[in-house]
Amino acid sequence: MTLNKFNLPDVGEGLTEAEIVSWKVKPGDAVAINDVICEIETAKSIVELPSPFAGTVNELLVPEGVTVDVGTAIISVSDEVSGDPTPADVRAPQAPVAADVPVAPDVPAQPLYGKLSRDAADEALADGAAAATSNAPLVGSGPKADAVKRRPRKTSPATAVTANAPEVEPVQPRTPAAVSANPAAVVDNRPTIGGTITGLVNRVLAKPPVRKIARDLGIDLADVVATGSRGEVTREDLVSYQAQRDAELDKADGFWGKVGKPQDQRVERIPVKGVRKATAKAMVESAFAAPHVSIFVDVDASRTMEFVKRLKASRDFEGIKVSPLLILAKAVIWAAARNPSVNAAWVDNEGSDTAEIHVKHYMNLGIAAATPRGLMVPNIKNAQDLSLKELALALNNLAVTARAGKTQPAEMQGGTLTITNIGALGIDTGTPIINPGEVAIVAFGTIKQKPWVLDGEVIPRWITTLGGSFDHRVVDGDLSARFMADVAAILEEPALLLD
């Protein structure tokens, strides 16, 4: 028997550590190649890890909730037993396989995370192809290793019992003294609605409507004192139990701790890890490394609102969520093409006092998303090449994936410019911190109807406020002002996108 240890891999570029969120297997479980064995949380996302080995789980080397470095062994898996089998290793006899079922050749499995070279893999596959006419599936595609199903052997009742099976003694009636001597096996002979319980007590008596009410209220019927004539739980019993439970909750502490309790019981300590740890580190580095300059501009977005309304009614956008954020994203791409230095990065040369400005001739547009797990900034790759409809689909997919916590590390790397939609939370504007590796970020405030002077008249219009933060080492005041003015121009007149 060989014991294989699986080391935590680098599931993203430059990943150094990850937290074991939950194990999907336990010692003794049989696993096949590519079976999900656990979930890990990287700096920004939750990732499922597949098993690179087939066999039996021997030991979980890292408990849940612990953060470990890449390369640390997290699980050990033993392969099939070789040599003389022990009684514990002997498998039960199975039905014979049909003669026309092809037998897969003995091809060495290529580990999911390993260093098996392409030449070695090609040689192994070539040897397997010479031994059989069918091609063995590669890891990660096709059926699993034990996908061949066999029909269960049919046995008659007479042959189902082996000759060596022990005789089953008939069950003798138990006396009250015997019952009291073994309280763990109490027999309940109370009458029920449909007859008499003759087995062990494992089900609380209650009518279906009462069971439904208990499920809806989250009540375990075993906790309720039954007062029914036949020993069943009634509606009144549920009402009484719920009232008692509500009274106990009212006496319990709310958010604020009670005066007089020890200070440790009034302070909640939350470990900083995962998303919060990565966000804190990135924001501190950006805030103190890049000199921020901020600009704000009020925008009449009434025509943007009309344009969004027309898009929603269009057959081309049927079933696609459309919002003003789509127009802003397109405006940012358009304005960055006119002011290329906002789509850049400041790069310090290691080992010297020199630095470079890298102007990106592509747009990986980052969208800051507030999720239950914290702030995430996935980006849309090559957003400059997307049509308005394609950009809308990309925004929808990005938001759904981020809220589900399924955003992969690669989707949050390589951003060139970011939008943060604080208007979705009802905020007018703010001074956002630039995402590390970028030099500009745009905050999109809420759109409200406000009094606006147009052609000398005060009329209600849809108004929003844009806030931009820029790295003053790269973007001067006049450049940041021109960029923000171009973005505002698109929101005021979306038809400019047709130019």
**170 CB burial (10 A radius; 0-12, 13-18, 19+):** exposed
Asked if residues 140 and 52 have their Cβ atoms less than 8 Å apart, the reply is no
Whole-prediction pTM: 0.55
- Superfamily (CATH) of domain 274-498: Chloramphenicol acetyltransferase-like domain (3.30.559.10)
Cα 480 from Cα 473, distance rounded (Å): 12
Catalytic residue among 292, 358, 361, 472: 472
pLDDT of the residue at 216: 80
CATH architecture, range 3-80+103-131:
Beta Barrel (2.40)
Joined tokens for residue 83: 């040599």
Q: What is the pLDDT of residue 491?
A: 96
Alpha carbon distance 78, 59 (integer Å): 9
Name residues of the chain where pLDDT drops below 70. 12-14, 43-44, 80-202, 247-267, 275-276, 499
Domain map of the chain by residue range?
3-80+103-131, 205-269, 274-498
The pLDDT tens digits of the residues spanning 81-122 come to: 434 444 444 444 444 444 444 444 444 444 433 444 444 444
Instruction: Decide: 377 and 368 in contact? Cβ < 8 Å.
Output: yes
Same CATH topology for 3-80+103-131 and 274-498: the answer is no
Which residues are paired to 376 by β-bridges?
A: 369
* Residue 241: HSE in the Cβ half-sphere, 13 Å Cα cutoff: 20
Q: What is the CATH number of domain 205-269?
A: 4.10.320.10
Q: For 352-394, how does the pLDDT look when each residue is reduced to its tens digit (9 = 90+)?
A: 778 899 999 999 999 998 777 778 899 999 999 999 999 999 9
Alpha-carbon distance values, 133 to 126, 130, 150, 199 (Å):
11, 7, 22, 57
In the block, residue with structure tokens 């409809």: 389
- In this prediction, residue 260 carries a pLDDT of 61
Quote the pLDDT of residue 122. Answer: 47
Q: Is 292 a catalytic residue?
A: no
| Dist. CA 111–CA 339, nearest whole Å | 48
